[in-house]
Every structure is written in structure tokens, then in C-alpha cells.
Chains A and B, each alone.
Chain A
């Protein structure tokens, strides 16, 4: 009897092991380490970069981008501008469905655009402000009529403003949709434990299901970069985003790991208060020569070497040097301490004290310390004001600062990196720089659908801005991903997203 029991137990155990092996082989799971915990999971209410990484798997957009920033079809299969640039007609994909079974069609697009434009909590209003009306012109065709030509609109559709959520779920859940997003992407939402994990499973009815080779995705927010990498090395993660630049060499040298990178669309720089209230009344804010002196005192390449071990990309423009929008006629100036001193003297100063606020994390602090050391040699004494990010943002918006070391995550269309910072009425123009000439150029660039025309306008604006310097650009980060060598088919994109099409786990 006893023997029988033991035999039965062993059989059960063997069956269990075998069963485990079978499910292990068929259910490919991918565990992804994120730097932060995403915010609310509703594309219309979303505001963080890291949230967009999750949407890349859950929510399809009207259009997508290639790694070279070309716009390609996703839920829209084709589109056409009218000659006056005031209407955009889009053909939509047939046979796509939302995770709750609602079919994707023109009505769904109309409902989505209306939600983004009218829901009071929506953060997408400014991105879609040019759309006057959305018309359903066929079961799978929509027509957008614009108030004024807006070349940036298509690129907006490649991000959160173009993400389609199920209209049924949106009507039912309202603002609570963010607790359980229902879109039409390759993966559907399963569960979320705040600050711990977000779990997704493969959506069987996805229109492009053949390209999806992963059955389950778990996102794990692990803010500490060392711990995130340790998790990858120990096998608890398969892929992580934002590897710290100093760890790049050790990952490249490890045969069990692989590495991918892309120059980001964004930048980091020093925003200078030129006309935002009383605090602008100081030599740095009032005299462009002082700002030029500050720029000339900085060796951006050395900064990149010291803080990022050369992994990032020094830059002096809102776009990185590999961007088609980069202006070659105003290249990054070499460091010139003598010229910086001469400019200061011309402005009437031998020595000068300025204060710059910076987010109190170790990396940004290091950036400012390097700038501080360099500027000191030109006679500019930089006082660093380390501030926690929420306070930094408030001071910046209220004009309670001289200089502020901040950045921008970057947009696909060049307009997104410059217009709202440099135009007089720009929504996030915290330096309050205002120049009618720049306004005219940037508005014209926004309205033309001809890229050659736009480029000329942006270049002209650059020539002025490189002298006025309301923002001293410093560098463009590099997105760095590290993954287990079991992960195959990963493609690096300059928007920093993790697209799971064609990704395999062996």
C-alpha cells in the first residue's frame, strides 16, 4: 500500500514536471524592467514617458514610425492631404477589433478624437487643437477638417493622440478607463499592482497576430539602475530600458546579454529666464552676450565623456545631429574660454554669479557640476540649486529662477521640440522668450506640408536662436536597452518605445 502511494506520488510529480515543461515551452513570457512606475493607463489622461512604453504593446495608433522617423500605416492604411492643407482623409484598416470585441471603424475614430478633444481631463487637447471637425465618410474612412494647415498632425497620430481606445469601454468607464485600458493593440491588459507590475497577455484577434511571438508580458518598475541590471543578470528580467551609460561597457562585454541603442528625439539643456518676471532682471537674462559666454565656456564633448562615458550625444540644437532637421550652418561651437571672457567683458563684467536650478538626482547634478567647473574658468560662477523635480517645475513655470537645467522627451515632428518653447504664447515657454520674427517663422513652418519649405524656416529660426539662446542645449540622451541574449528581434527606436512585433524569446 505504502509503495503504491509513493509510486502514485512519483507519477504525479513526473506528470507535473512534464506538464510544467510543456507550458514552459509554449508560453513565451517576456519580463521587462522599467525605470518608473507608469501613471494612469488612459492615453488621453497619460502624461509620462514610461506610460507610453506600456501603450506601445496595448494600444495601436492610427500611424506608427520607422526607426528613421518615417510615418507608416498602423490602424490607418493610407491618408491624403487636400491641396490647401485643410482636410486630411484617412483610410482605416478593416478587420481590426478592440480587446472587448468592439470592431474598429470610422465611428470609433471619431469617438476617440472627440474624447481626446473634449474630455476635461484630456492632456491631448493641444496636440489635436487644429482639428475642427471629424467626419465619417465611409465605414472605414474619416475626414479631418482643420482650422488652419497643420503639418504636425500626422506625427501627433503616431503617439498618444493617435491611440485608439474602445469607444464602448470609453463610454462605459469614462475617466476610470485608466484602471483597465481597452485598446486594439497586440496585447490586452490583465492586471496591475501599483509600483509592482503590469501584466499583459497576447490578444488572439490582433490584426497582425502573426508578428507577435510572445504570450505574456510583465512590466516591472525598478527605479534603481543598478538593481534593474542585477535583475537582468540574475534572469529575473529579460529586457530593460534606460540602462545607465556607465554600465554599457560591462553589458557589451557580457556574452549572456545583448545591447541596443538609439539617439533620442529629446534633449537636455539649460533654460534661461529671459523675461519671466522679476527674476529675469539679471545679466544672464537680459544680455544675450552673457548667455553666449556661458555656452562658449562649456565643452559639451567633455561633459559627455565625464558624465556619460561618451554614450550620449553632445548637441546645440533642439534636434540631434543625425536628425534631418539639424541645421548644419549653426554647428556646435567649440569651447573657447578666451572668447567667452571677451564677451563677458563686452557686456561689462569681469566676473559674474548666476544661479541654475537642477533636479536633485545624481546624474543631472553631475552634469551641472561639470558645467560649473567649466564656466568658472570663464569667470562665470554658477551657483547650483538642487531642487526636487515638482518644485523645480513650479519655480520654472512661475519665473522664480535664473537658469533651469531641464530637458524634453522629444517629439517625432520637429515642431514639437521647438514651437511651444520659443513662440511668445508657447504653452511651455518658461523663459518667456518672445520674438515676432521667430513666431512668424515657426508658425509658417507648422503650416507647410512641404518638408523642404519647413526646413528653410527652421534653419532661419536657428540662426536667430543660436545668438539669443533662451535655451542652451547641452546633449541628446541615448536610449539604451539591455536584454538577455535569449531575446531576439528587438528593434531600437528613437522614441524610446519597446515595440514587441517580431520580438522572440528563445
Chain B
């Protein structure tokens, strides 16, 4: 088993190399010259020439790549072309923000999605089921940005309950931090809640038909015990897998939500960097995200080994 884990780790190395090449070259294929943006409105040719030289943009792309990857391996991600801040510092600053948003959104999604899914499975074909389905469908169909702006208008402007946008670090002022994050997390969480609800419902429906549930009922157990202890526990496995997958989607959804609520996280960082052709930042952020995904995958693979004895025999 350990040799399997070792091999899995080794495989990630060529994956990472490929990812880094993709990030680097795809970005260079984008039209738009970063130096023209950087040179300012006047576009002084002398400044343009100097900046091209300084950021090695005159070198052939493979040489530029080796320069970048060489520095990255030594922990130097370069500096932001736009603000001169070190990219690594920016990543350290923004990552916790997006993780906080994602975790809060996930909690909201689970709190709404899972109970709703269970109820609509138990009450299949009743009014409750239909209402839950309609709500879920709306959650999936309403665009994030629209819901976001509507919530700002209602909750912040009309009712004055929560700040309209902005961010406060969690450890500086936990209450304020949660206040500023709750609306964006809700917007992000509702769409996921709908997905979770649908999957919970179908998993529960499958399990509720199983023989052991019938046996449990035949033993005369309370319906609540049957549902929670016997049915839900078994339905939970695919839901856990799905939740892990949705976490990736959350990061993507954060891009839009962070724009609306002006949250200085990863999503906003990357959007601004792409528009400004801030190469070093785009490369750093995307590489970080890719590494994150690869590690998650690796952990999932290893976790399966521990959870499923049959897999252990195969490797």
C-alpha cells in the first residue's frame, strides 16, 4: 500500500510540470500586450523598451518559462506587474479569504440542501416534495450576480442589517468578519444547496427502497430512527463525495461572488490580474490552485484506500 502511495506522489510530478507549462503558454497566447497597459496612457517608447527587457518579454517563450519555473522552485513567484507587490505575499493574503468564503458557503449549502433532500425523499410526491423541488430549481437557475445585488439592496440598503460589501479578517474581528461574509456565502451556498438537495433526495430514495430499511421498519423501529440511522447513513457516502467535488466548484463560483461583494479574495485577484495581463500573478494563482487540486485528488485516492479494504487488495 505504501508503495502505491509513493507511486501516486511520483505521478503528480509530471502532472505538475505539464500544468505549469499549460499555464505559462496559454497565457502568452492571449492577445493584448501587458507592457502597453503598464506603460500608462502616454506609452513612452523608452519605458516600453525598458519594461520589456526588465520582465524578459523579449526572450523566446521557452527561455521565459525556464526562468519563471526556476524562480518558482526557489520560492520566488515574482512581483505583480500592476502594484509591484510580491506574488507570494498576495497569495498568502488572499487565500484565507476565499477559503473562509468557501467553507461558510459549504456549511450553508449543507444546512439547507441535506435536510431538504431528506424531507422531499420521505415525503415523495407530496406538496412538501414539490415545494422543495421548486426552491431547488430556483436556487440553480437564479444567477449569482442577480441574487447578490438583490440581497444587497434588500438587506443592506433597505433594512440596513448587514454591510453591503467589504471584508474583515476572521481573526481580527470574528463578528464583523462573519457579518460581511454571510451574504456572499449565502449567495454562493444556495446554488450548491440545490445540487446537494437533488442528490440527497435521489440517494435517499434509492436507500429507502432497500431490504434492510424494510427490515428495520418490520422490527417496529420509529420512523425517525429508520430514516436517520439506517437510511441516511448509507445515503451519505455519495453525498460526501459530491460535497468534496462541489468544493472545487465553490472556488470557481467565488470568482463572481467576490466581484459583486468586493471581497478581496482569490477570485477577484485573478480576474483583475487577467484583465491587466499581470502575468506573474495569474501564473502564481493558477499554479497554486492546480497544486491544491492535485493534493486534494491525492488525498482522496489515499482516503479511498483506507476506507475500502477491497481496493487495498488490488494495489
**Contact surface of A with B, Cβ cutoff 8 Å:** 37, 39-42, 45-48, 120-123, 125-127, 175-176, 178-179, 193-197, 220-224, 226-227, 230-231, 233-236, 388-391, 393-395, 397, 408-409, 420, 427-428
Contacts and interface: CB of A to CB of B under 8 A. Distances in A.
B32 A394 contact: yes
Interface in B82-98: 82-85, 90, 93
14 contacts: A40-B82, A120-B47, A193-B264, A222-B262, A227-B152, A227-B261, A230-B152, A231-B165, A388-B275, A390-B36, A390-B275, A394-B36, A427-B43, A428-B41
Contacts of A47: 38-41
A194 B90 contact: yes
A195 B167 CA distance: 11
Interface of B: 30-34, 36-47, 50-51, 54, 80, 82-85, 90, 93, 149, 152-153, 156-157, 160, 163-167, 259-262, 264, 268-269, 272, 275-277
Contacts of B149: 224, 226-227, 230
Given A127-B42, A220-B262, A223-B259, A234 B33 contact: no
B150 to A, nearest CB: 10
Nearest to B35: A394
Contacts of B259: 223-224
Contact of B33 (A40, A193, A224, A390): A390
Contacts of B33: 390, 393-394, 397
B85 to A, nearest CB: 6
Contacts of B80: 194
A195 B268 CA distance: 8
B163 A125 contact: no
Contact of A230 (B37, B43, B50, B153): B153
Residue among B165, B261, B264 with the highest chain A CB neighbour number at 10 A: B165
A390 B40 contact: no
B31 A125 contact: no
Contact of A195 (B50, B156, B269): B269
A40 B40 CA distance: 12
B31 A227 contact: no
B164 to A, nearest CB: 4
A305 to B, nearest CB: 26
Contact of A427 (B45, B156, B163, B276): B45
Given A122-B47, A428-B42, 6 more contacts: A39-B83, A195-B268, A222-B262, A224-B259, A394-B36, A409-B41
A178 B163 contact: no
Given A195-B268, A408-B41, A427-B44, A224 B260 contact: yes
Nearest to B263: A196
A194 B36 contact: no
A125 B43 contact: no
Contacts of A176: 84
B160 A235 contact: yes
Contacts of A45: 84
Contacts of B51: 121
Contacts of B43: 397, 427-428
Nearest to A220: B166
A122 B51 CA distance: 10
A393 B264 contact: no
Contact of B164 (A39, A230, A389, A391): A230
B165 A222 contact: yes
Given A123-B40, A390-B37, A428-B43, A194 B83 contact: yes
B262 A391 contact: no
B275 A389 contact: yes
Closest 4 CB pairs of A and B: A47-B40, A390-B32, A196-B264, A391-B32
A236 B163 contact: yes
A123 B48 CA distance: 10
A234 B156 contact: yes
A501 B64 CA distance: 48
A41 to B, nearest CB: 8
Contacts of A235: 160
Contacts of A39: 82-83
A189 to B, nearest CB: 14
A195 B272 contact: yes
Given A194-B85, A227-B152, A427 B32 contact: no
Contacts of A193: 93, 264
Contacts of B166: 196-197, 220, 231, 236
Contacts of B268: 195
A42 B39 CA distance: 14
A391 B157 contact: no
A222 B164 CA distance: 11
B29 to A, nearest CB: 12
A236 B167 CA distance: 12
A194 B271 CA distance: 13
A450 to B, nearest CB: 26
A127 B264 CA distance: 34
Contacts of A236: 156, 163-166
